[in-house]
């Protein structure tokens, strides 16, 4: 059985996230349908993670297995010809039959983009936040999230996953030209976790004792105590490492 790994980019604006759902248009469904047209068979397309509705990807990883030997250049060209303009297969390669894009992933990195002025060019891909941002202070407070912790307070209430422990490796705030970029890396992420972390950190710099507040949020294991999630449109799955 041949196993093929793909790197995928997509604009998530018009999609209900990665994962196939009933009565909704998703990235996984669009790609699976396109593959079926070419191969004349259904495949199990496995993604490295489930991006939420409206979230984008610069480096989503997925794999599928088939008995067919593919001409990789021709297959990639054909697939991109069928897919809508807001989804693109950046690369495809044959990998070990046991490779699993989700379970073999060691590190996932997201980027969150913030603009501090109204821009018609960034409006679909960033969070317009005109209030003062102290990047130095945010980087200090971000250190409180690093390590293996219970992130129950930072995932959606209806999350079905029982294990809420994640190993967070890095949160880095920086200025890149007109944008403020938040880079977050972890072994895994819960549903809505990145957006809740960014929202909580933005909330924390407005209050008197931010360190105490963040500690209380973790200890409470209560999503309502954390900050409001920032909009999905500013979030990008940047890369997945194996």
pLDDT at 94: 98
**Which pair of tokens denotes residue 96?**
């070990």
Q: Do domains 2-95 and 107-241 have the same CATH topology?
A: yes
Q: What is the pLDDT of residues 91-123, one digit of tens each?
A: 999 999 999 999 999 999 999 999 999 999 999
107-241 adopts what CATH topology? Answer: Alpha-Beta Plaits (3.30.70)
DSSP readout, 1-69? Answer: -EEEEEEEEE-GGGSS-SS--TTS--HHHHHHHHHHHHHSS----EESS-PPTT-EEEEEEEEEEESSP
CA 32 to chain centre: 20
DSSP 8-state code for residue 228: P
pLDDT of 158 strictly over 70:
no
Residue 142 has pLDDT above 90, yes or no: yes
Number of Cβ atoms within 10 Å of the Cβ of 5: 20
Which sequence spans correspond to the domains of the chain?
Answer: 2-95, 107-241
* Confidence grade of residue 37 (pLDDT, cut at 50, 70, 90): very high
Mean pLDDT over all residues of the chain? 96
Average pLDDT over residues 2-13: 98
pLDDT of 220 over the 80 cut: yes
Q: How confident is the model at residue 80 (pLDDT cuts 50, 70, 90)?
A: very high
pTM for this model (two decimals): 0.95
The whole-number pLDDT of residue 177 equals 85
Whether 55 shows a pLDDT value over 80: the answer reads yes
> What average pLDDT does this structure show over 16-42?
96
Write down the pLDDT at residue 160. 63
Architecture of domain 2-95 in CATH? 2-Layer Sandwich (3.30)
Question: Hey, which residues are catalytic here?
Answer: 52
Contact 5, 105 (CB under 8 A): no
The reported pLDDT for the residue numbered 156 is 83
% pLDDT > 90, the chain = 95
- pLDDT tens per residue across span 178-200: 899 999 999 999 999 999 999 99
Q: What percentage of the chain reaches a pLDDT higher than 70? A: 99
- Give the confidence band of 159 by pLDDT, cuts at 50, 70, 90: low
Mean pLDDT, rounded, for 64-80: 98
pLDDT reported for residue 96: 97
Q: Does 157 have pLDDT greater than 80?
A: no
């Amino acid at each position: 059985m041949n196993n093929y790994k793909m790197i995928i980019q997509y604009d998530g604006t018009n999609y209900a996230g990665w994962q196939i759902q009933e009565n909704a248009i998703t990235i996984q469904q669009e790609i699976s349908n396109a593959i079926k047209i070419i191969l004349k068979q259904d495949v199990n397309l496995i993604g490295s993670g489930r991006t939420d509705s409206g979230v984008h990807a610069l480096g989503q990883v997925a794999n599928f297995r088939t008995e067919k030997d593919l001409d990789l250049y021709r297959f990639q060209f054909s697939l991109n010809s069928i897919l809508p303009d807001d989804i693109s297969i950046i690369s495809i390669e044959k990998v070990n039959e046991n490779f699993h894009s989700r379970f073999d992933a060691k590190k996932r990195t997201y980027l969150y983009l913030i603009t501090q002025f109204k821009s018609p060019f960034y409006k679909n891909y960033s969070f317009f936040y005109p209030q003062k941002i102290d990047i130095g202070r945010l980087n200090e407070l971000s250190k409180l999230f690093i390590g293996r912790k219970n992130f129950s307070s930072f995932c959606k209430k209806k999350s079905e996953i029982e294990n809420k422990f994640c190993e967070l490796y890095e949160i880095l705030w920086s200025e890149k030209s007109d944008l403020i970029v938040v880079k977050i890396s972890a072994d895994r992420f819960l549903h809505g976790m990145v957006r809740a972390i960014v929202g909580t950190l933005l909330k924390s710099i407005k209050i008197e004792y931010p360190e105490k507040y963040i500690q209380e949020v973790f200890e409470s294991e209560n999503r309502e105590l954390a900050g409001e999630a920032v909009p999905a449109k500013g979030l990008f799955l940047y890369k997945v490492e194996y």
